[in-house]
Chains A and B, each alone.
Chain A
Amino acid sequence: MFRSPATIALVLTALTAAADGKAGEPKAGAVPWSAAKDSGWKELEPGLELREEELDWKRQEADQAALVNLRIAAVRLDAKLFALRVVMNPVKDGRNLADVAKAEKAVAASNGAYFGTKDEPVTLLVSGGKALTRLNKNLPRGGVFTLDEKGRAAVVPVADFKSPRDGLDFVVQNSPLLVAGGKVIFKDPQPARHRRTAIGVDADGRTVLAVCGSAVTLDEWAAVLTSRADGGLGLTSALNLDGGPSTGLAVEHEKAKVDVPAGRIIPQVLAILRREKPLPAER
């Protein structure tokens, strides 16, 4: 999709600002958006938080300037109290994300990684310590999100990932890897605006699953994910998941409901479940 040089300049400004920002130092005014609404991180219960926000983003398309409203929802979890699981969801069953969340007694469910023409998974998925698929070495600019048995989260490039090994409780592979070391490391060669989903880790090691129900480029999305400015999610690492019509998030919690509907039935759903027993704190 076409984007004007003026818009590129705005995004570059945002990216530069994000990259230059120091941890904990919001740089208000340095980004092309302002937070029209922001719930902040609301605790639904210990170890589980929800944030919903709307960003007003200044865009320039051809000869017209416009203010676009972007809707973002994110779930932040402490993996010692909550687990991530892959739920196989046959398309013929017709269950949407909220249906899956309710059936699995999950507090939230989202779309996950890319899948193939027959809805089969095409990237590495590990759930409950069990490898469901193999690492896809042909996925360019790929990354892997992992949670180990101690609840420690990480995002690493595929090249640095050693095939499924003991000690990993959950893995999802996808591409591109957007953020590493608190900086945007991806520049989209052919930007197009779509709905987006990402999974990442914040400065305190907590896992964040975020969706943008509005259409943004990957560059714009990476800027929001990493920025510490008003409305940014402040992730230090983040992996892009499947987007477009796949993007979806359902939060099914006694204290909050969120429904960002996916445009299709998602064949492999990421579900957030309470752990029966919290993982022990590390010494």
Chain B
Amino acid sequence: MNSRQRVEAALNHHRPDRVPLDLGATPVSGMQVSSVYALRQALGLDRPGTPVKVVEPYQMLGEIAPDLAARLGVDTVNLPGRTNMFGFANEGWKPWRTFDGTPVLVPAGFNTEPDASGDILMYPAGDRSAPASGRMPKGGFYFDSIVRQPPVDEDRLDPRDNLEDFAPLSDLDLAHCERESRRLRDESDRAIVGSVPGTAFGDIALVPGPWMRRPKGIRDVEEWYVSLAARPDYIRAVFEGQCAIALRNLEAYRQAVGDRISVIFMCGTDLGTQNGPFMSAETYRELHKPFHKRLNDWVHAHTKWKTFKHSCGSILPLIPELVEAGFDILNPVQCSAAGMDAAELKRRFGAEVTFWGGGVDTQRTLPFGRPEEVRAQVRERIATFGPGGGFVFNPIHNVQAGTPVANLLAMYETVRES
């Protein structure tokens, strides 16, 4: 089996020759750039001081270059969009240094400046004339959105303001996707993961619009969650408009990339906290599920792609809804959250969804455990999730900065031995 066949076998719930491995195929299954740098150094891939590209500036994810992917046996690859979370293209690379001293390369639009407290401010589309949209706290490792919420005037709330984020993919975007999908397919046998903007409904990382110069509508995280209960008609109107645009974009994207991709990243909306869901099953059914189902049904009717749903946290009561909404893949499978027992998840849902994640705990074991503890947990999770396919190995969410390299090596060695 080559990598693509291995991933597709797992996604079809057939037993692959070994557990497929993802690293960096999505913005929620990557590695913070400082850890990528340390890993590359440990593997002898670079001379000391060689910078690593930051391919996702919001979370400061490092590039998983082909040499690193080959060395680790990674079976997947990301088909990135033309612009990133802050609205600029990943091009025109320039040197930068993180707070922990890691040498990195950032895109030309990565225009930052420190504020009085030493925090680093980031600007939408690299435009310093606009209000800053991201803040990396002094000594931090990634950016938080800066909420730019004008006071809410109930009488003037207009769902169209929250639809400014969503527009038809441009010819430039589509040409980029077609070209890159062909390049990735020609250069590699890895399974390609694509994405279309606007298919996530109420993704709280996107609600503040960090790539927009002056976002309007409801942009405050707290205000958004309040609105799910207090202004459901407003939310529904936003989702309706968004869904119509997303369906058009999916069709255009399908024409651009065809079946060169195996998976489409549909939704990163977090539905859970450490201890329980953000919302009831009833709220999900009434507000989100109809739109998720519409998009997933379209994908299944028109393509061979499998649909990818990310949600952190304790979401056990919502997983049945996600399955019925048509998601084929669940990520990051946060087994460290309340009620998310790995064996129970496999028993209840393993026949119908692929678990893409859950491979090792990134809150405790990977950053703070010993290598033998990492090995033990990786073996246990592969034994739990692996039988019958339906499992793509990835830690729970992105590997964070400061993770011991010995633990990373232990994790990847154990996966390879599986």
| A interface, CB within 8 angstroms of B | 1-2, 59, 61-64, 66, 68-69, 91, 117-119, 190, 192-195, 213-215, 244-246, 261-264
Contacts and interface: CB of A to CB of B under 8 A. Distances in A.
A244 B320 CA distance: 8
Given A117-B286, A215-B13, 18 more contacts: A2-B304, A62-B8, A64-B8, A64-B12, A66-B12, A66-B15, A68-B13, A68-B14, A119-B282, A190-B297, A193-B13, A195-B351, A195-B352, A215-B352, A244-B352, A245-B320, A261-B347, A262-B348
B214 to A, nearest CB: 37
Interface in B8-54: 8-9, 12-15
B23 to A, nearest CB: 23
A245 B352 contact: yes
B295 to A, nearest CB: 15
A66 B349 contact: no
A261 B345 CA distance: 11
Task: Tell me which of A63, A69, A117, A262 has the highest count of chain B C-beta atoms within 10 A of its own C-beta.
Answer: A117
B342 interface: no
B304 A62 contact: yes
Interface residues of B, number: 29
Contacts of A193: 13, 352
A1 B300 contact: yes
A59 B12 CA distance: 10
B interface secondary structure, majority:
helix
A264 B324 CA distance: 12
B9 A66 contact: yes
Interface in B176-226: none
Contacts of B348: 245, 261-263
Contact of B351 (A64, A91, A117, A215): A215
Contacts, number: 72
Given A215-B13, A245-B320, A192 B300 contact: yes
13 contacts: A1-B300, A2-B300, A2-B304, A59-B12, A63-B5, A119-B282, A193-B13, A193-B352, A195-B351, A195-B352, A246-B320, A261-B347, A263-B319
Contacts of B388: 68-69
Given A245-B319, A245-B320, A194 B13 contact: no
Contacts of A2: 300, 303-304
A262 B5 CA distance: 31
Given A117-B285, A244-B320, A61 B12 contact: yes
Contact of B324 (A1, A68, A245): A245
Interface in B276-297: 281-282, 285-286, 297
